[in-house]
Amino acid sequence: MFTPMTPNAAFKQSRLLIGGALLLISGLSHAMGDNSSTTPTCPKGQIYDSRTKSCMVDKGGMISDADRTRYAYTLAKAKRYQEALAVLDTLKQPNTAQAWNYRGYATRKLGRTDEGIGYYQRAIALDPHYALVREYLGEAWMIKGRPDLAKAQLATIKTLCGTGCEAYRDLSEAIKGHPES
């Protein structure tokens, strides 16, 4: 038997249903490794397109440089460094701080630290306030046995985003964890 609800009770029930659905969707997204700050990885030869929210083969340059750059970083973080560099090679406008930073990250992780440092320096020349590139440059300096230069990057990061930002915390840990610091 149907029991009519007051408008207030109907509103509360709809809020519970919507809230529950959002919680379920959020939980599924988190379990799948997909959240708003990450881009999913695609099979080799495909790039994630934020417009269609899918992996696709880019025919005719339909995927934006921003998506290509973001996806190159996703590949690099997934330890698919050569693929990341290949995606960066397809940029129509490769002279951005993010593109140089991610190229530096991938090359550094491939063991080409000096080359990576050069890319980080290009990124800094384009955007001296970009904390993430300074973190990665500091990590590269630690690899090269130059904690003095890494600490200089840490000091700059502190002026950019304070001691609570991820770039500061990560570089600080890298410096503390290195025997020469």
What is the percent of the chain with per-residue pLDDT over 70, rounded to a whole number?
77
How far from 129 is each of 16, 97, 109, 136, 161, CA to CA, in Å? 44, 10, 23, 14, 9
* Residues 108 and 136: beta-carbon distance below 8 Å: yes
Whether the CB-CB separation of 132 and 167 falls below 8 Å is answered with yes
Name the percent of the chain lying above pLDDT 90: 62
Q: What is the pLDDT of residues 108-135, one digit of tens each?
A: 999 999 999 999 999 999 999 999 999 9
- pLDDT computed for residue 19 by the predictor: 41
pLDDT tens digits, 10-37: 444 544 444 443 333 333 322 223 333 4
Q: Classify burial at 99, counting beta carbons within 10 Å of its beta carbon; exposed 0-12, middle 13-18, buried 19 or more.
A: buried
Q: What is the mean pLDDT of residues 88-101?
A: 97
54 pLDDT higher than 70: yes
- Can you list the domains of the chain with their CATH numbers? 38-94 (no CATH), 113-181 (1.25.40)
